[in-house]
């Protein structure tokens, strides 16, 4: 494999791993916000426990996802300096907005929500998690706007051998963005719903003592997965028209073609299972033990579909990086050696792969422990007397 192929493979692998974190973040944030809202309105301890438990899983995924995003940023400077030189003034604008506006605000509000339990007024504390959700969606908007520019460089013209932005509104009304944003947000809800469903099924299969807790969570997951899968598939098919006009032959390539088939197969299968099997049995599913292993096995489906969809979107425009303007080969950093890209590939993939494993391990441990051992939102312990030196020894 040549240098261009290695660089493409590196970005595909690291991008796919990063996207796993993003999808779950977009799915869990609104669910935690809804649970928190129900707690504030009802005052029921069950809703508080659900908020804290699923909120802790959200925080774990968010914290580790930040580091995977940093690795993605490194790659632009290391491997794709040609893109920065030719289109950085346009492509970098929405990414800068994502970092300076959405990400910093999201992190700030999340910090207030994490450390504001029992300190902030309930209404203000609730507002923080809703602002986390809104800024997470804003991050998705800015990132997808940058990606949509690569698919269709709307609002830009070439001057002096570089692309310059002449119509900022065109970035956010790009035909390759309009349906992609709700498609990705819906895919996040689908993934979040399946995680709630699979984790709850695990606890119910173990005959947990918190049966009501996980019964509610499982039913919430099924309903969320139904809504998410419905809109994911709908907005997915809605993209075929505009994408087919702007990028003819996008779905016929050696990467996009098989990935498209996988995405459609998994997406349709997941939607049909939720719509015609799980939703009609919503009342009985938590009561029966035998379906629980099946529900656990379904958990990866939306993540597989999400990665396949990402490969379709990125692989289908080859050999262009900026469609019709800049090829992948021309965007590659000049003088980049095969040894250098191999070393960075091994390093980046290793770091992201390790983070993904740590994320899975921490979430799995939190699920196994259940809602009885959740640090998030736990009441502060009263300060006791300091131990005597004798007892300390």
Q: 21-32: per-residue pLDDT in tens?
A: 999 999 999 999
- Whether pLDDT at 227 is above 60: yes
Predicted local distance difference test score (pLDDT) of residue 370: 92
Residue percentage of the chain with pLDDT more than 70:
96
Residue 94 has pLDDT above 70, yes or no: yes
Structure tokens at 169: 């509104």
Is the pLDDT confidence value at 390 over 80?
Answer: no
123 close to 40: Cβ distance less than 8 angstroms: yes
pLDDT at 76: 79
Q: How many CB atoms lie within 10 A of CB 124?
A: 12
Q: What is the per-residue pLDDT for 388?
A: 45
- With respect to residue 107, please indicate whether it lies within any of the assigned structural domains: yes
Which one has a higher pLDDT value, 297 or 66? 297
Residue 181 domain-assigned? yes
Per-residue pLDDT of 242-282, as tens digits, reads 998 999 888 888 888 898 999 999 999 999 999 999 999 99
Residue 393 predicted with pLDDT over 70: no
Confirm whether 210 is domain-assigned.
yes
Q: What is the mean pLDDT of residues 59-74?
A: 86
> Kind and range of the H or E element at 157?
strand 156-159
Per-residue pLDDT reduced to its tens digit, 228-252: 999 999 999 999 999 989 998 888 8
Gap between the Cα atoms of 314 and 291, Å rounded: 37
pLDDT score of 121: 95
The mean pLDDT value of the chain amounts to 91
Grade residue 385 by pLDDT with cuts at 50, 70 and 90: low
pLDDT band at 58 (very low <50, low <70, confident <90, very high): very high
User: Given the DSSP bridges, would you call strands 162-165 and 156-159 parallel, antiparallel or unpaired?
Assistant: antiparallel
- Which of 380, 381, 383, 382 is CA-nearest to residue 118? 380
DSSP state of 152: S
Domains in the chain, number: 1
> Which residue range forms the structural domain that includes residue 309?
3-378
Residues 141-152, mean pLDDT to the nearest whole number = 95
Residue 389 has pLDDT above 60, yes or no: no
Does the residue 386 lie in any domain? no
pLDDT at 148: 95
Domain contains 387: no
The more confident residue out of 183 and 388 is 183
| pLDDT above 80: residue 374 | yes
For residue 193, is pLDDT > 90? yes
Contacts for 131-136 with beta carbons within 8 Å, 24 or more apart? 131/105, 131/106, 132/29, 132/33, 132/106, 133/29, 133/30, 133/33, 135/101, 135/102, 135/103, 135/105, 135/106, 135/109, 136/25, 136/26, 136/29, 136/102, 136/106
pTM over 0.85? The answer is yes
pLDDT of residue 382: 56
Asked if residue 384 belongs to a domain, the reply is no
What are the beta bridge partners of residue 164? 157
Reply yes or no on whether the pLDDT at 387 is more than 60: no
Residue 383 domain flag: no
In a domain, 236, yes or no: yes
- How far, in Å, CA of 18 to CA of 71, rounded? 9
* pLDDT at 321 exceeding the cut of 70: yes
Lowest mean pLDDT among 144-153, 336-345, 382-391: 382-391
Q: Are strands 156-159 and 326-327 parallel, antiparallel or unpaired?
A: unpaired
Residue 77 makes CB contacts below 8 A (sequence gap 6+) with 84
β-pair type (320-322, 326-327): antiparallel
Residues in the chain: 393
The dihedral of CA 246, 155, 327, 185: what is its sign?
Answer: negative
pLDDT in tens, 3-16: 998 999 988 888 89
In sequence order, which residues have a C-beta less than 8 Å from that of residue 61 and are 6 or more positions away? 21, 24, 25, 28, 359, 363
Question: Per the omega criterion (within 30 degrees of 0), is the bond before 238 cis?
Answer: no
- Does the structure show a pLDDT above 60 at 392? no
Rounded Cα–Cα distance for residues 162 and 160 (Å): 6
**246 contacts 176 by C-beta, under 8 angstroms:** yes
DSSP 8-state assignment for residue 374? -
């Amino acid at each position: 494999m040549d240098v261009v192929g290695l660089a493409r493979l590196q970005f595909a692998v690291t991008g796919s791993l990063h996207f796993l974190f993003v999808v779950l973040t977009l799915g869990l944030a609104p669910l935690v916000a809804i649970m928190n809202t129900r707690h504030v309105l009802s005052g029921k301890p069950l809703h508080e426990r659900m908020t804290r438990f699923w909120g802790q899983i959200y925080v774990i995924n968010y914290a580790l996802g930040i580091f995977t995003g940093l690795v993605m940023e490194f790659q632009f400077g290391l491997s794709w300096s040609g893109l920065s030189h030719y289109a950085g003034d346009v492509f970098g604008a929405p990414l800068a907005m994502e970092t300076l506006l959405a990400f910093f605000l999201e992190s700030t509000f999340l910090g207030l929500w994490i450390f504001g339990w029992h300190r902030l007024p309930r209404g203000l504390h609730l507002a923080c998690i809703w602002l986390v959700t809104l800024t997470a969606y804003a991050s998705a908007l800015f990132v997808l706007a940058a990606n949509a520019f690569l698919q269709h460089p709307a609002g830009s013209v070439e001057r002096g051998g570089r692309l310059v932005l002449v119509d900022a509104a065109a970035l956010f009304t790009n035909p390759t963005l309009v349906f992609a944003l709700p498609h990705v947000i819906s895919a996040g809800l689908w993934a979040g719903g399946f995680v709630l469903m699979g984790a709850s099924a695990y606890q119910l299969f173990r005959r947990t003592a918190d049966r009501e807790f996980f019964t509610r969570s499982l039913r919430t997951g099924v309903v969320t997965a139904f809504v998410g899968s419905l809109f994911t598939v709908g907005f997915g098919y809605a993209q075929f028209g505009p994408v087919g006009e702007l990028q003819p032959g996008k779905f016929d390539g050696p990467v996009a073609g098989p990935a498209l088939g996988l995405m459609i197969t998994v997406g349709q299968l997941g939607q049909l299972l939720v719509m015609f099997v799980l939703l009609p049995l919503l009342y009985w599913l938590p009561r029966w033990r035998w379906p629980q292993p099946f529900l656990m096995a379904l958990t990866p489906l939306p993540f597989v579909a999400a990665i396949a969809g990402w490969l379709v979107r990125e692989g289908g425009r080859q050999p262009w990086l900026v469609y019709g303007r800049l090829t992948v080969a021309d965007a590659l950093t000049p003088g980049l050696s095969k040894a250098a890209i191999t070393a960075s590939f091994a390093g980046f993939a290793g770091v992201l792969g390790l983070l993904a494993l740590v994320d899975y391990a921490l979430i799995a441990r939190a699920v196994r422990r259940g809602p009885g051992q959740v640090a998030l939102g736990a009441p502060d312990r009263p300060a006791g007397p300091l131990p005597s030196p004798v007892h300390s020894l």
